[in-house]
Structure 1
Amino acid sequence: GVTLPNGLSLRTDRETRASITEAVNALEAGLMVAPIPWKLEAGWVDLTHADLKGIASAVAAHVQAGFAAERTVQAQIEAATDLSAFDVSAAFAAALSA
């Protein structure tokens, strides 16, 4: 998941990403009207179109950063000659923060 600068915490699983995308698309097509009630783990919030677009952007950036870090770590694993000392968690954290 990801925590936004305003403190909202969101899951970033496929189902949540699809729901966010669906809501943004529905607003843009005029099928829904903001504010949109949205249920988070911490409770309900009302989101504007701008809120949802910002959330979609932040979630997409978070997911892409995770994939990029995973790809980096995979390359490190494949290049390693001795995996006994390789710390996957530390390598992923380093790649994610890079």
Structure 2
Amino acid sequence: MDYLYFRDADGNKYGYPVEVSKDFVEKKGLIELTPSEVEDLLNPKPKATAESLKQQVTEKRWLVETGGITLQSGEVIATGIDDQNRITSVVTNAERAGLQEVDFKSATGWSRIRIEQVQAIAAAVAMHVQACFSAERMHHEAIDAIDVQAIGRRVAAREASGGPAQHVPPL
């Protein structure tokens, strides 16, 4: 059986068989849902949980962390995990080898720079990475402070007491 979906002035949603009369719909003051509203109604997105929110935060941190940085000089430094490791390796090995300058390839091209400049780049990358993790931790702690289950209980109680509800026929 096919259904048409409507909402009333309070936002409550209803599904009626296609055969329902237009007079009935008009008397009830119902407004037909748009195709995207019907899609959202029939295929709701999963409810956010603390863990799903934290996962989103972690994914965002990774994107920012590995997205690179731009130095004051305008030089763009890649900050992917391999890039971070390579910069650290250059600093350590150049010092051991007694090198004063190294050929350095940034995202914007080649240059010959002093080891002190590589150390400054390494420090900038380390500060960037640490700022990303600090922001992620702050967001995780904020999410932990939210009692997601209590919010869910309040929403369920509101719906049980006649608040906005979803009146959708079984498929």
Q: TM-score, normalised by structure 2?
A: 0.44
Residues 75 and 107 of structure 2 are in contact (CA less than 8 Å); yes or no, is this contact kept in structure 1?
A: no
Q: How many residues are treated as equivalent by the alignment?
A: 82
Residue number in structure 2 paired with 1:47: 113
User: Identity percentage over the alignment?
Assistant: 33
Alignment partner of 2:95 out of 25, 28, 31 = 28
Residue number in structure 2 paired with 1:8: 75
Alignment partner of 2:122 out of 46, 50, 56 = 56
Q: Which has the higher helix share?
A: 1
Runs of 5+ consecutive residues of structure 2 not aligned to the other structure:
1-67, 152-171
Task: For 1:11 and 1:41, locate their aligned partners in 2 and report how far apart those are by CA, in whole Å.
Answer: 6
Task: For 2:78 and 2:145, locate their aligned partners in 1 and report how far apart those are by CA, in whole Å.
Answer: 33
Per the TM alignment, residue 81 of structure 1 is displaced from its structure 2 partner at its CA by: 3.7
Alignment partner of 1:72 out of 130, 138, 147 = 138
Q: TM-score, normalised by structure 1?
A: 0.74
Using the TM superposition, name which of 66-75 and 3-12 deviates more.
Answer: 3-12
